[in-house]
Amino acid sequence: MNIGIKKIIFILSGVIIFIVIIILVIAGVAAQRGADLSLEYNLHEPDVPVVQQQQKSTESVTDTFVPLPLTEEEKAGREIERFVASFIERFGTFSNQNEFSHLESLKMFTSDQFYLWARQNTESSAAGIADPALYYGISTKSLDVFTKSDDELTRVYTVVTQRQESRGANSNSRLYSQEVEVELVKKKDVWLVNGVFWQNEES
């Protein structure tokens, strides 16, 4: 009887120890799993506000640099500046081979007073060429335009140009910079060139 009781106690003890070991193993696995989940959450959680902050920062920068639309007055001013730049390129580009015919194509954009002056000045320049049979010409490119004065009936602009003067059959040429002031007058709601004043040349 005592031997049977001892066997039963021994078996029950073994079962209890086995159950305790299983419980400890399960508890350890659960604890490790919880730690992994907590670590994974902590690693990924800060990404959300960082992305949101970057998006907000990008949106604020974009909003800062949105250009304002031009007013009708500003658009008209830009158009006149482009006209002045184009006029000076055509007026300042000529040669004695085409008999300075560029003036005729520009007549509609000038006042009568300026056209007469330009004709006389061109004829004087042509007469000053030592040998009219030799080629002489100047090409002009407008680089920039600045408004010097602006009122209701008169406007003055400064144009920065680059010019190339060529002489003779061998095309001996020199390159130089030159500013020019352009005066416009308003007649019957149309702006016309009324004066062109070339400034000193710059090498």
Average pLDDT, the chain: 79
Write the burial class of residue 94 (CB in 10 Å: 0-12 exposed, 13-18 middle, 19+ buried): buried
pLDDT digits (tens, 9 = 90+) for 79-99: 999 999 999 999 999 888 877
Select from 149, 153, 151 the least CA-distant residue to 188. 153
Name the residue with higher pLDDT: 109 or 44: 109
Task: Please give the Cα distance from 33 to 3 (Å, whole number).
Answer: 45
Domain ranges (residues) in the chain: 2-64, 72-202
Select from 172, 134, 178 the least CA-distant residue to 159. 178
Q: Where does 72-202 sit in CATH, by number?
A: 3.10.450.230
Token pair belonging to 159: 């144009």
Select from 199, 201, 197, 200 the least CA-distant residue to 91. 197
Prediction pTM value:
0.64
Q: CA geometry: angle at 26 spanning 21 and 29, to 5°? A: 125
- DSSP result, 47-116: HHHHHHHHHHHHHHHHHHTPPPPPPHHHHHHHHHHHHHHHHHHHHT-EEGGGTTTHHHHHGGGB-HHHHH
What whole-number percentage of the chain has pLDDT above 90?
39
What is the pLDDT, as a whole number, of residue 41? 46
Query: Residues in the chain, how many?
Result: 203
**Among all chains, which residue has been given the structure tokens 């920065």?**
160
